[in-house]
Amino acid sequence: MKHLYYIAALAATFLTTMPLHAQEEAENEATEQQQTRRRSPQATRGERNDKKETGLPELTVRAQDMNERLTQEIGNARWMRIIYRQVDLMKEQNAPLYYPTRPMNGQMNLFSVIFQLLGENKIKAYEYLDGYEEFDETHLINFKDFLDRFYILYEEIPGRAGEEPTFVINESDIPAADVRSYYVKEAWYFDQNNSAFDVKILAICPILTSTGDMGETTMPMFWLPYENIRPYISNSYVMTSNMNNATTFTMDDYFRRRMFEGEIIKTQNLMNRPLQAYCPTPDSLKNEQARIEGQLTGFEKSLWYQPDTTQVAVDSKAAKKAKKSAARGKGTTTQKPASEKKAPTVKAPKAEKSAPVRSVRRRR
């Protein structure tokens, strides 16, 4: 009987310890999964299906239609000249495109907007080619190759079936502060059908500035057609003055109204030569830039009739004098009717002088 009692007690303890052991194993598995989940990117930023609020919404049909209406057609231009400018963001006139270097209070600088749009695959960028820009499928840049080329740190997350991989990049790794200048390609054109002389911005190119053992080096990154980015920057407001902190202008206004300041570095020519190729000194370069600016403004003035200002001034003075004299004459004299006018009087001729006569008193 004692043996049976011991066997029953052992069986009871074994049955009671089994659920406890299974519960401990389940708790250990749960803690391990929680730890791995904490280390995984999904736990730190949420599921990939949850879309992050970026402040750059998708384009509506109305926005796309407005972008097409604002597109300037230059195919019918009878005269056109392609100008390349370099916009230095370190100048106060161009500072609204550079600050803030990190997103602050819902505001971002121009490169932050471009980088975010590229990461979300909303716009396309093309390889930088000096003087031979080709905006076609063969010259499209791959976003991953672009990150590797400019040593931008990222975390790649493989996509699901049929989806492209996504890239997680910290805001501190985005080189928004290192892009300190832009190349701007613009077309000055005259459309004879509409009698319009205007300037159209064709593309922009951010320039990355890096500091190393060799000093400061600049590297153009890519060409971006302006028509692709305009619908997005037309809603990005910037502060344009230190005296007026109201954000009343957008980045699109800054470009379209030509509020930026850029120096001419090249004009499209047959030999594809920049200005520095035939202007070795700074003085000759400035003189050449001023000469090109004078040609553009001179061509615009030659299109329209401009009267002689000196002759207009003389005529206006004479007209003022005539008005004053007429006003004075009306106040002092009154005109009589033609019937009351007197006939002209004829004066009698004067008598001829006679010879002198001797006085009678002398005869006596």
Closest CA to 266 of 69, 131, 142, 80: 131
- pLDDT in the model for residue 285: 96
Q: Residue for token digits 């002689």? A: 308
Instruction: Please state, in angstroms and rounded to a whole number, the distance separating the CA atoms of residues 230 and 239.
Output: 18
Mean pLDDT, rounded, for 12-30: 59
Return all residues near 91 (Cβ < 8 A) that are at least 6 apart. 261
Confidence of residue 185 (pLDDT cuts 50, 70, 90): very high
- pLDDT in the model for residue 125: 95
Mean pLDDT, rounded, for 59-87: 80
Query: Has residue 47 got a pLDDT over 60?
Result: no
- pLDDT in the model for residue 325: 80
Residue 328, Cβ density class (10 Å: 0-12 exposed, 13-18 middle, ≥19 buried):
exposed
Confidence of residue 38 (pLDDT cuts 50, 70, 90): very low
Using an 8 Å Cβ cutoff, are 224 and 233 in contact? Answer: no
Mean pLDDT, rounded, for 131-142: 88
Render pLDDT for 249-278 as a digit per residue (tens, 0 to 9). Answer: 999 999 999 999 999 999 999 998 999 999
Confidence of residue 39 (pLDDT cuts 50, 70, 90): very low
- pLDDT in the model for residue 262: 95
Confidence of residue 21 (pLDDT cuts 50, 70, 90): low
Instruction: Please state, in angstroms and rounded to a whole number, the distance separating the CA atoms of residues 62 and 65.
Output: 5
Render pLDDT for 209-235 as a digit per residue (tens, 0 to 9). Answer: 998 888 889 999 999 999 999 999 998
Confidence of residue 43 (pLDDT cuts 50, 70, 90): very low
Return all residues near 42 (Cβ < 8 A) that are at least 6 apart. 48
Higher pLDDT, 236 or 41: 236
- pLDDT in the model for residue 255: 94
Q: What is the mean pLDDT of the chain?
A: 80
